[in-house]
């Protein structure tokens, strides 16, 4: 294991109950990363999704994939404590199998591009080698002001032009 939850929390701003990464197993800086999310019955979302038939919500699997990809992106940013990564888009998301308590998600993310504040990654989540979810994720890196709020500049996700 390259990073445990303590090491991950030194890089990502997420905390319980929204930290959805337990370990990092493999990493090629600026290229690819492999992370683990252990799915247990104690997860808060299983209380209501769905009682008696627990299934991990697909949006939280996507979030786990984004956190693992974001960790790779933030590793090489010198002032990462002054940055946030915002989700800017999701393409080609496909949900191939349910993820249930006891499963271990093995998430691989590959950087497709990283230009200016914008990044695109391809990500796959597998359980026991079987593809559960795949997607292409886009994010925007924004600066955090001294008061802890995000900058609203031309580099902000709020200013990403929308294609019509």
Q: Quote the number of domains for the chain.
A: 1
Residue 75: inside a domain, yes or no? yes
Active site residues: 49
What pLDDT score does 111 carry?
98
| Longest pairwise C-alpha distance within the chain | 47
Is pLDDT at 2 greater than 60 in this prediction? yes
* 111-120 b/e (C-beta count within 10 Å ≥ 16 → b): beebeebbbb
Residue 77: inside a domain, yes or no? yes
State how far the Cα of 17 lies from the Cα of 28, in Å rounded to an integer: 28
pLDDT digits (tens, 9 = 90+) for 153-164: 544 454 444 454
Is pLDDT at 133 greater than 60 in this prediction? yes
The answer to whether 145 and 124 are in contact (CB under 8 A) is no
- Report phi then psi at 75, rounded to 5: -55, -40
Total-model pTM: 0.91
pLDDT digits (tens, 9 = 90+) for 72-110: 999 988 899 999 999 999 999 999 999 999 999 999 999
Strand partners, 28: 32
- Report phi then psi at 118, rounded to 5: -105, 140
CATH number at residue 151: 3.10.129.10
Residue 73: inside a domain, yes or no? yes
Residue 164: inside a domain, yes or no? no
**pLDDT grade for 148, boundaries at 50, 70 and 90:** confident
């Amino acid at each position: 294991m390259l990073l445990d939850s303590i090491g991950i929390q030194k890089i990502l701003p997420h905390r319980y109950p929204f930290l959805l990464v337990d370990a990092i197993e493999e990493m090629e800086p600026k290229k690819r990363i492999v992370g683990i999310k252990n799915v247990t019955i104690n997860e808060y979302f299983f209380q209501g999704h769905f009682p008696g038939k627990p299934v991990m919500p697909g949006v939280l699997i996507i979030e786990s994939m984004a956190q693992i990809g974001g960790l790779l992106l933030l590793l090489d940013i010198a002032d990462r404590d002054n940055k946030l990564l915002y989700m800017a888009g999701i393409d080609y998301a496909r949900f191939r199998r349910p993820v249930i308590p006891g499963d271990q998600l093995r998430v691989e993310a590959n950087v497709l591009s990283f230009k200016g504040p914008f990044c695109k990654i391809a990500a796959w989540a597998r359980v026991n080698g079987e593809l559960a979810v795949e997607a292409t994720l886009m994010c925007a890196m924004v600066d955090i002001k001294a008061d802890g709020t995000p900058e609203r500049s031309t580099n902000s996700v709020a200013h990403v032009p929308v294609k019509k």
